[in-house]
Structure 1
């Protein structure tokens, strides 16, 4: 049967197989340039089945740089920032441009959204935090400083083994820290669960 296929049939098959085995997100960078909206519209028309995320890596880099110098308070992925120090006119103009043309237009620089979408939507991972029912901070006062990416469908026992083989082997039960409910080894974890693992001594 395949011998009867023409080049167009083979191309369609190859495209289908690629879409199934190598799912893609289009990171439409340079969203800060004048023709960006037209380019984005053309991409959406050409690839209606694909997730297309407008982004500006240059804007993200500038915001992170300003935050590192303590000029602004900015959390990657957020749609805003706040000034924490006085800035020069040149710096203010650049930051105002990013705010008006990127953050207000698209809701964020898009960079974190691309990363989140790849990890959570395409690769189907969930973020799980180890924590205790009575303690969510480390010795330095950082709240939930660790995060583990687990495949969707992972269990409490899978998470215990991810922390350490010895923890998995000594697993007794887990506790859903939010609800304070005891769960067993087969308990399916959900995105952003905080889990305490109880082990044999």
Structure 2
């Protein structure tokens, strides 16, 4: 699996997933060739908001991201969002688009589960009243669990025989069988450790219950999930939100209204309001005479949205959901530069903080060089942090050392030649 963060957007039909994608992604953005990747047809691009170093180092006016944008010190970093096929109960048995859903899911690092908390759509996405959305949360987890469990259990006899004949460790055996889910050995070790299983482990002693326990632990690490409680503007949503929070206290939850965000973006594009995505308010003609004046009907609709969504929940929840997903998976923004004083990314001194890349927690300094370009790792000499201090090649990148200048053998040789001239 690529190191690049991919957010999987999942949910049953009619839960508001399409509206969420429209609200979270920007079809007008520059998405054709953003850093270190290509965009495939079934991917969209959303943006992770974080504080840009330009604010700390007084470079706001000079900051010039190549992809995404920087707005007064808030950096919006492009992130892939995968539109996973709609899910219905029985997906693990191939019902609906189950096979496509589960195959797509393998590419995601973290999931945003869009749940219709109004209770006005049933498990198949059909209109109804009084449906309990708590069921959606559990059966999504059950379907993914069944998919992985069944893939392991039908091969369990072979796995046991292979471990016995090769005298392999259990984590190595399990990692091989889970590699199709983008699984590294460290993840399997963590999943085993969380259920108090440590080497040497004899897999022949495991029964179905033990394997179920392992799969649960594996899922919590491999597919961490943010619940996006959508359609909070509906009158039937409040009680369901309270019940979901009580039932699933360990989940990250974000109340949201995707349709509200789409509407606010539309009004902004038509110059009726001044609105910044993620904020808890907007301005109209009454506060800014450069805007178009709303008629009474539009003004009433905007005020209702402000009261039911923005003031009550502190925003539409769309940007907060993306931010929560990135931080739940512990990805860190890193800024490679060529000049530590100007923070420029080219020799001319321009392109300040031009590039930014999100990397997994635990990424090492030299490892990141290879992510940027194979030659940077191949001819690596040393790396420096923002204050010019040398960074160890095995140092882990954190938010305190995420502005990095690399020097390679080829680059140092060229600089010496220039000095001699």
Which bracket does the TM-score occupy, shorter chain normalised?
0.7 to 0.9
Structure 1 distance, partners of 2:298, 2:384, is 48
Render the CA deviation track for 1:106-165: whole Å, top value 9, x for unaligned. Answer: 2221112222222221x22112123342334679x8753432110101122122212111
In structure 2, the residue corresponding to 1:104 is in which secondary structure? Answer: helix
Structure 1 distance, partners of 2:303, 2:355, is 34
Q: Number of residues paired by the alignment?
A: 195
Correspondent of 1:26 among 227, 246, 251? 227
* 1:117 counterpart residue number: 324
Structure 1 distance, partners of 2:377, 2:214, is 43
Correspondent of 1:165 among 374, 378, 386? 374
Q: Is the 8 A contact 2:278 2:320 kept in 1?
A: yes
Matched, 1:35 2:236: yes
| Structure 1 residue 22: Cα displacement | 3.0
Q: 1:27-176 to 2 correspondence within 5 Å?
A: 27-83=228-284, 85-89=291-295, 90-121=297-328, 123-131=329-337, 132-136=339-343, 144-176=353-385
Structure 2 distance, partners of 1:81, 1:127, is 29
* 2:391 counterpart residue number: 183
Change (3 A) 1:15 1:68: same
Unaligned runs of 5+ in 1: none
Structure 2 distance, partners of 1:70, 1:181, is 48
Render the CA deviation track for 1:6-50: whole Å, top value 9, x for unaligned. Answer: xxx987776555445433221101112222222210111121222
Instruction: Calculate the TM-score normalised by the size of structure 2.
Output: 0.40
Structure 2 distance, partners of 1:171, 1:118, is 33
Instruction: Calculate the TM-score normalised by the size of structure 1.
Output: 0.76
Superposed CA RMSD in Å reads 3.2
Structure 2 distance, partners of 1:4, 1:172, is 51
Render the CA deviation track for 1:79-108: whole Å, top value 9, x for unaligned. Answer: 344456234234443433333322222222
* Larger Cα-atom Rg: 2
Structure 1 distance, partners of 2:261, 2:269, is 12
In structure 2, the residue corresponding to 1:160 is in which secondary structure? Answer: helix
Q: Is the 8 A contact 2:271 2:292 kept in 1?
A: no
Change (3 A) 1:94 1:189: farther
Matched, 1:194 2:403: yes
Structure 2 distance, partners of 1:4, 1:14, is 11
Unaligned runs of 5+ in 2: 1-204, 412-421
Render the CA deviation track for 1:63-83: whole Å, top value 9, x for unaligned. Answer: 333334454444433334445
Structure 2 distance, partners of 1:60, 1:172, is 48
